[in-house]
Structure 1
Amino acid sequence: MFAPEVVEPVVDRLAALAAGGRVLEFAIGTGRVAVPLAARGVSVTGIELSEPMLGQLRKKADLPVVVGDMATATAPGRYSLVYLVYNTIGNLLTQDEQVECFRNAARHLDPGGRFVIELGVPELRRLPPGQDAVVFTAEQGYLGVDTYDTVRQHLVSHHFTFGEGRQARLGRCPQRYIWPAELDLMGRLAGFELESRHADWTGSEFTTESSSHVSVYRRS
């Protein structure tokens, strides 16, 4: 995800959407997107809950960051663009929290400002009948498996990393998955209208076969 060919289209699109205005990143993390965006001359502020991630960010750049939850924390001032990348809204594990994230974005935006979300499409069509797990990546030294709880609309991504020995390191990431139509309704509840939806940051058409989307909402 840190490769230039992955990051540059994201930065290109966000810089264009910012149109010279101030930008706020929810869950800024280690600055994978924010640091190169700031290098373009865009004024970037962040909100981040993880102190270890902030420690990594501060080794790269001196960007203003508010420590807190992206659904409730407040950054100073108003912005022309708020954005969330790489499925991060799914880290909020209830529908109510996800709606509050939209409302928090609206509170930070100028009238007509935009909220951009990058999010995967739930891959329930790949689930075999009667099973609740699907392998999303299998390669040398790494195995990725998603397990689904379709009642609560939760999934857990399990990341198995293998070395030379017989043991593996396991990391887990719980999320609440969101269908595109549900995401649009969250936006409407917070005073947004869907402006565009594409399959990626370069503007490819979003279809029934798309595995992710970049959705741009405009504050009414």
Structure 2
Amino acid sequence: MSDIQDVGYGRQFADFYDRIFPPGDDTVKWLAGLHPGDGTASLELGVGTGRIALPLADLAGEVIGVDSSPEMLEVLRGVLAREPRPVTAVHGDIRTYRSERKHGLVFCVCGTLSMLLDPAEQQQVLETCAQALAPGGAVAVETHNPAFVDAMHEGRLRDTFLIPCGEDAALQSYSLIVPAQKLWHMSHIWHEGGGTRLASESSRLTTPEEIDAYAERAGLRLEARYGDWQGSPFTGVEPMTICVYRSADGSAAPVPEERAASAAPDRER
């Protein structure tokens, strides 16, 4: 276990992560709809505190959640001890995680892929997805949209943002873009109950086309790209991009009719 690399995100954020990112109902419903319903478990790469895995287990059955942060997994296991669900927390590396099991749904959301700053390591994650995918299953990857980050800064390399998080808390963020390295650094002050906590994070501004290239090399093909978890087509201005992939060998299951009607897949790439 000691050779699992961890950047320390969980040590900084575990105590207040769920205040910044509450359970994602739309995300969970959408992911549950991607699962083929064949009884296979879902696999989340970067499960964190289980904000997605826990409610997804209620809708789509068993979830295996992998994370490198012992602190995040401790929070998740605490919830499972109080409210058991078919969720298994695994301390592991999302780049190299391997299992004999195959999964109807493999997903990596909330910018987790972008926290790997080396393109070669991001490639490894898509290879993990492909290796774990069962026939007819789907892969979903959600990352920051670099164009939105640039627009948010309005031409400035540095900026400051304050995000209210309920009545008694707020996140104050100092943001820095390093264009030459495609890096986005964020230093945060968490304000709550008269106290503060400090945290920081770095992400690689990864384009959808780069993720498509990783996926193609891993044996996956792009099925559709979305701009939110309501199924809106990705137009290039949204904060996040959601890419859905299937196996390139033709073993994909068709998109459910209700989803196909609500969001036109982006097949131009």
Relative to 1, partners in 2 of residues 1:168 and 1:56: Cα closer, same or farther, differing over 3 Å?
closer
Deviation string 1:115-158 (CA, Å, 9 cap, x unpaired) is 101112112234455x4223344557432232111112111122
Shift of 1:19: 2.2
**Structure 2 residue aligned with 1:53, among 60, 69, 72?**
72
Q: Tell me, in whole angstroms, the C-alpha distance in 2 between the residues paired with 1:76 and 1:136.
A: 44
> How far has the Cα of 1:76 moved from its partner?
4.0
Q: Does 2:39 align with 1:19? A: no
- Counterpart of 2:187 in 1: which secondary structure? strand
1:119 aligns with 2:143: yes
Length, aligned pairs only: 215
1: CA distance, partners of 2:77 / 2:145: 32
TM-score by length of 1: 0.88
Maintained 8 Å contact 1:15/1:42: no
1:58-97 mapped onto 2 (5 Å cutoff)? 58-61=77-80, 63-97=87-121
Which blocks of at least 5 consecutive residues in structure 1 are unaligned? none
Q: Helix, strand or coil: the match of 2:51?
A: coil
Deviation of 1:27 after TM superposition, in Å, equals 0.9
Give a deviation string over 1:13-63, Cα, whole Å, max 9, x none.
Answer: 111111213210001111101011112251111111111111111111252
Answer whether contact 1:25 1:45 (CA < 8 A) is retained.
yes
Secondary structure of 1:201's partner?
A: coil
Q: Which residue of 2 aligns with 1:204?
A: 232
For 1:157, the equivalent position in structure 2 comes to 186
Of all paired residues, the percent bearing the same amino acid is 30
Number of the residue aligned with 2:265? none
Q: Distance in 2 between matches of 1:160 and 1:64?
A: 32
Are 2:114 and 2:144, in contact at CA under 8 Å, matched by a contact in 1? Answer: no
What residue in structure 2 maps to residue 217 of structure 1? 245
Aligned to 1:29: 48
Look up the SS of the partner of 2:181 in the other structure.
Answer: coil
Q: What does 1:96-115 correspond to in 2, within 5 Å?
A: 96-115=120-139
Out of 93-102 and 105-114, give the one that drifted further.
105-114
Whichever residue aligns with residue 111 of structure 1, its letter is: P
Structure 2 CA distance for aligned equivalents of residues 183 and 53 of structure 1 = 26
Match of 2:203 in 1: 175
Shift of 1:168: 5.2
Runs of 4+ in structure 1 off by over 6 angstroms are: none
SS in structure 2 opposite 1:66?
strand
Structure 1 residues 80-89 or 14-23, which shifts more?
Answer: 14-23
User: 1:56 and 1:162, CA in 2 relative to 1: closer, same or farther beyond 3 A?
Assistant: closer
Q: Which structure dedicates a bigger proportion of its chain to strand? A: 1
**1:9–1:201 CA contact under 8 A, matched in 2:** yes
Q: CA deviation at 1:214?
A: 1.5
Q: Which moved more, 1:145-154 or 1:58-67?
A: 58-67
Q: In structure 2, how many angstroms separate the alpha carbons of the residues matched to 1:104 and 1:138?
A: 34
- Aligned partners of 1:9, 1:138: CA distance in 2, in Å? 21
RMSD: 2.1
TM-score (normalised: structure 2): 0.73
Is 1:2 aligned to residue 22 of structure 2? yes
